Structure formats: C-alpha cells, structure tokens
A and B are shown apart, each in its own frame.
Chain A
Amino acid sequence: MKILVPVKRVIDYNLKPRVKADGSGVDLTNIKMSMNPFDEIAVEEAIRLREKGAASEIVAVSIGPAKAQETLRTALAMGADRAILVETDDQVEPLAVARILKAIADEEAPGMVLMGKQAIDDDCNQTGQMLAALMGRPQGTFASLVAIEGDHVSVTREVDGGLETVKLALPAVVTTDLRLNEPRYASLPNIMKAKKKPLDVKSPADYGVDTTPRLTTLKVEEPPVRQAGEVVGSVDELVTKLKAMGAVA
C-alpha cells in the first residue's frame, strides 16, 4: 500500500507571530519556517506503518513556494521515499489544496492519505475532510491510533467526549492528532541520503486546478492584548482579591 503524506511549510511553532503594521498579514520575513507539527506526526505514522509491513511506499507532497522543498527534504530525511512539490508563490486555500491533492491521489492511487488535522498558521482544520469528500472516501480525523485491518483501517479519534473508534474502508484519509506518536529526528546520514531521493516539481496548472482564493482577507490585526494583572504575595491575599472581584463566593 502506498501512503500519500501532504506536508505544509509553516512558521516554526516555537515562534510568536507578529502582525504587520499595515494589517496585511503576519510578518514572515526572516522567520524560521518548519514542517507543520501535525504533518510531522503524519510522516512518522506512515513510516511506522511501513516498518510494520503495512505500507510499501511513502510519497510526501507539499503545495507552496520553492522553499517548501526544504520541508519535503525533511520528510525524506525522516524516511519518506519520494516527494512532489507543487510550486506556487500564491496563498493556496484548503479547498484548492484538497483539489490538487485529489488530482495527485488519482495519479498515485494511494491506499491511505495521512495528513495533519490542522495547519498551525491558518488553523483551518478542513483540508483532510475536503480531500476525503472529493475522493468520495471515508475520513478518520483527529487520530490517536491507526491500525490497518485487511482492507479496512481502524482509527481512534480524539473527540470532545473522549475517544471514538471508527472503522473505515480503504482507501481512506486520516488526519493526525497530537497523541498519535512522537516524531523521530532525522539522523545526519539520513539527511544526506534524503538529498538524493527523487523530488518532482509541478505546478497547480499541471493538475488543472485554479487556485484563485474564495476568501479575501480584508485585514489582519493583533488580538486585544490582555494586560498582566498583579502578583499577590500569599494565598490569603489571593483569596481576598478573588472575593473582592466577585470571582468566587
């Protein structure tokens, strides 16, 4: 079984994003960019499935600028077999990303698409579900456990009420949650090897997908800043203040 793993290049999760003064967006100049953390978990899970013999080939895909090659090289260094960059400098929305991924899935015929539940820049949490709809295939979102059972996959999902398990016919789209695994670090020899692994460069037009945005961003602002309050000296003072504020009875 082939596994397709879409990976997005995003601001490193350790950094605090700054809004541009002109309100046009978030300033990403000279900002460290990394693979979306949920996508790292997806790459790791694909590798583990291959290690268990449940998967044969792992293809990483990214839609983004030329620099997204670095993200793909990271996936290759972790253990993906080959990569496809769909290069564009435009901001591509989840719906268009899903359309491109659908076209790639048509060509590659993966048994599973394993991807992040959410990109930590747009916080959309929708691409995987959209892809599953476009493919007419089932979806296992927010996965904390993935087990292949013949021509089905059992997915345990992190839901508001606890943990839900669903059984999906393959091919299926699975999106990762934080508890699925802990991604490995790429070793130096693997980073060197990854440089020689195949990486195809394509364009959205190659897949016949129009990436014109459906949403226009009118402005991007800082959220209202919350002022730090006061530091109290003791539990007694804390209780007094809480009562004075009416926060506790």
Chain B
Amino acid sequence: MSALVLAEHDGGVLSAATLATVTAAAALGGPVHVLVAGGDDAAGVADAAAAIAGVEKVLVAQDAAYGAQLAENVAPLIAGLMDGYDAFLAPATTTGKNIAPRVAALLDVMQVSEIISVEGPKTFTRPIYAGNAVATVQSSDARLVITVRTTTFDKAAATGGSATVEAVSGPGDAGLSSFVGLEASRSERPELTSAGIIVSGGRALKDAETFSQIITPLADKLGAAIGASRAAVDAGYISNDYQVGQTGKIVAPDLYIAVGISGAIQHLAGMKDSKVIVAINKDPDAPIFQIADLGLVADLFQAVPELTGKL
C-alpha cells in the first residue's frame, strides 16, 4: 500500500508528530511519500522531510495559499494527488484533524480516526468512548484516509533518509477562507505532546497565579512540560492548549504528575498511557488514585513545594 503522509510543520520546523505518522504509514507495507504544503518555508521543511529514514519521496507544494494550512486550500491539493496512492495519513493533531476529514469527503472515503495500531493493510485499532473501549475496524474503501495518534507510534529517525524532492502544485486559494492571526502560547518548556515529564494541575490550583506558583517550580526542577485539566483551563488558570484529555491533548510521557486533578474519564483518556503516573490529591477516594502508580494523599499546597524542594 503506497502512502502519502501530510507533513506537519510550524515556523519552518518539521514536527515530531510527522515522524510518528511516517512509522504508521510504513506499517502499511508500501512506499511512503511525504507532502509538504506551505508558503516560503516549505523548501526548508522539505529538506528535513527528505532526511526522514524510510521516506522515498517528498512532494513540495509551495504557495502562499498553503502557508496557514487552511483546510479549504490544502484538502483539494491532497485529494488531487491521491490518484497515485492507496492511503493518506495525517497526525491526529489539530491541523491533521482539520484537514484529513475534508480530504476523506472529497475522495468519498470514511476516515479511520486516530488509529493506535495497524493490524493489517486495512485493519486498525482505535480508541472510542474516551478510551474506555478499543475498536478493531476494517475499511472497505478503495483508498484509506487515516489520522494517527502519534503517542502510540515510535518516531521514525529524523535523519538517515535521502528521499527525492519533487515540486507539485494544486488549485491554490479556494477563496473561501483567510488566516487572520495566531495567538501563540510560546514557552521555553518542552512541548506537551512530546515531553518526557509532565506536571499537570487541576481545579484545586485556585487561580492563574497560584497555578503558576505551585506548578511551575516543580516543572522547572524536572525540566517538565506543564499540563492541565479542563477545569483548570475553563477557570482561566492556563490557556486551552495545555488541556490534557479526550478532547484536549493526548500525552504519554515517562512520568505524569497529576496535582489536584480528580481523574474524570475525559482526563484519564488523555494521559493513562503514561509510563509512571503520580497523583497528589487530598481526597483518598479520587478516581485518579485507581490508575496512579504512586499516590500521595495530601494537601497539594504543602506537598508540592516540599516535593520541589526535595527533588
């Protein structure tokens, strides 16, 4: 099965999510090509994509219309390239989730969303019901459109490959939408979805100031990324892109420290594949303790600063 993978990139940098998607694509058993759609920075990203181990060819579509990854413009480009491929794969990031279903509909294909394993050329597993069940599904469509949960696939090596690079073009600007701006939450910390350690805070953190007073020093000490529950985001302690869960980011770090988080199923859906889970909560019956490797029943306002001091 020949596969086309959508490269995800930002500011000229290829994302780690792309590397995991290449691994999923390779599991289909055929050649893997990568599409880089973008503006001025596309050429640089294409060079990075060409170096990914196992990638045979990189297609570059450089056009201002593709700069902001608007689905209205990028989806027809992809659909137009699919004659030569059996499958299209995108990482299940907000970019991939925005574009891939639009490609699927243009190709009259039912998308297989957020796969966690490849069981056969057309058979996949995917979590449903907030990860409370795992379905094995088989597609009967002639071509496949797939989004990939990137935390469950190893990253392909970013170097070692020597793919050919070929320029392609598409219909360009569909004239339906325009990019106005991005309010980026910039941070010097490791990125949430690829961090080795995450310190995550919940509603118990009271307000934005307290959240950062308690959580940030511990995260700094551990070189960790910061995460949050929906309740913490809703209450404005921290911005939306820190939300971990069914409808936020899916993470699987080596160590996840949940501070003042009760452990609702929607939160667990986003972090229960972490290698080691630590929970600090004053309620011994909080559901988070049912999945924590190490639980500490304590007042976080005392326990967390103490922990930060002793690490």
Q: Residues on A close to B: CB < 8 A?
A: 11, 13, 16-17, 19, 26, 38, 93-95, 98, 117-118, 120-134, 137-139, 141-142, 144, 154, 157-169, 177-179, 213-223, 226, 228-232, 234-236, 238-239, 241-242, 245, 247-248
- B55 at interface by CB-CB < 8 Å: no
In the complex the two chains form, is B101's CB within 8 Å of A248's CB? no
In the complex the two chains form, is A123's CB within 8 Å of B114's CB? yes
- Chain A residues near B183 (CB, 8 Å)? 162-165
In the complex the two chains form, is A118's CB within 8 Å of B133's CB? no
How far, in angstroms, from A42 to B93 measured CA to CA in the complex? 22
- B282 at interface by CB-CB < 8 Å: no
In the complex the two chains form, is B134's CB within 8 Å of A220's CB? yes
Most chain B C-beta atoms within 10 Å of own C-beta, residue among A138, A154, A238? A238
Q: Which chain B residue lies CB-closest to A218?
A: B136
Q: Which of B97, B139, B184 contacts A141 (CB 8 A)?
A: B97
B137-170 contact mask (Cβ, 8 Å, vs A): 1 or 0? 1111100000000000000000000000000000
Q: Residues on B close to A: CB < 8 A?
A: 10, 68, 70-72, 75, 93-95, 97-106, 108-114, 123, 126-141, 174-185, 193, 197, 222, 230, 233-234, 239-241, 246-247, 249, 254-255, 265-266, 272, 275-278, 284, 289-298, 303, 306-307, 310-311
- Chain B residues near A16 (CB, 8 Å)? 132, 265
Q: Which chain B residue lies CB-closest to A156?
A: B183
In the complex the two chains form, is B176's CB within 8 Å of A122's CB? no
In the complex the two chains form, is A163's CB within 8 Å of B112's CB? no
Q: Which of A117, A164, A218, A228 contacts B179 (CB 8 A)?
A: A164
Given A141-B98, A159-B241, answer yes or no on A94-B111 (Cβ-Cβ < 8 Å): yes
Taking the closest CB of chain A, its distance from the CB of B1, in whole angstroms, is: 17
How far, in angstroms, from A85 to B8 measured CA to CA in the complex? 39
- Chain B residues near A154 (CB, 8 Å)? 180
In the complex the two chains form, is B137's CB within 8 Å of A217's CB? yes
How far, in angstroms, from A222 to B176 measured CA to CA in the complex? 43
Q: Can you list 6 A-B contacts (CB < 8 A)?
A: A129-B105, A141-B94, A162-B240, A214-B109, A214-B139, A222-B134
- Chain B residues near A130 (CB, 8 Å)? 101-102, 104-105, 111
* Main DSSP-derived SS at the B contact region: mixed
Question: For chains A and B in complex, what number of residue pairs have CB atoms within 8 angstroms?
Answer: 257
How far, in angstroms, from A247 to B140 measured CA to CA in the complex? 44
In the complex the two chains form, is A220's CB within 8 Å of B133's CB? yes
Taking the closest CB of chain A, its distance from the CB of B65, in whole angstroms, is: 13
In the complex the two chains form, is B141's CB within 8 Å of A239's CB? no
How far, in angstroms, from A68 to B95 measured CA to CA in the complex? 32
Given A123-B127, A223-B134, answer yes or no on A158-B307 (Cβ-Cβ < 8 Å): no
Taking the closest CB of chain B, its distance from the CB of A160, in whole angstroms, is: 5
6 nearest A-B pairs in the assembled complex, by CB-CB distance: A126-B101, A229-B293, A129-B101, A133-B105, A214-B110, A130-B105
In the complex the two chains form, is B180's CB within 8 Å of A167's CB? yes
Given A121-B129, A162-B241, answer yes or no on A226-B291 (Cβ-Cβ < 8 Å): yes
In the complex the two chains form, is B296's CB within 8 Å of A13's CB? no
How far, in angstroms, from A39 to B141 measured CA to CA in the complex? 29
Q: Which chain B residue lies CB-closest to A214?
A: B110
Taking the closest CB of chain B, its distance from the CB of A136, in whole angstroms, is: 8
How far, in angstroms, from A217 to B182 measured CA to CA in the complex? 39
Q: Which chain B residue lies CB-closest to A215?
A: B137
- Chain B residues near A95 (CB, 8 Å)? 104-105, 108-111
- Chain B residues near A178 (CB, 8 Å)? 230, 233-234, 247
In the complex the two chains form, is B293's CB within 8 Å of A223's CB? no
- Chain B residues near A169 (CB, 8 Å)? 175-177
Taking the closest CB of chain B, its distance from the CB of A195, in whole angstroms, is: 31
Given A165-B181, A238-B307, A247-B255, answer yes or no on A160-B295 (Cβ-Cβ < 8 Å): no
Q: Which of A126, A133, A165, A247 contacts B254 (CB 8 A)?
A: A247
In the complex the two chains form, is B310's CB within 8 Å of A236's CB? yes
Q: Which of A134, A163, A168, A214 contacts B105 (CB 8 A)?
A: A134
Given A123-B128, A160-B249, answer yes or no on A144-B240 (Cβ-Cβ < 8 Å): yes
How far, in angstroms, from A225 to B71 measured CA to CA in the complex? 37
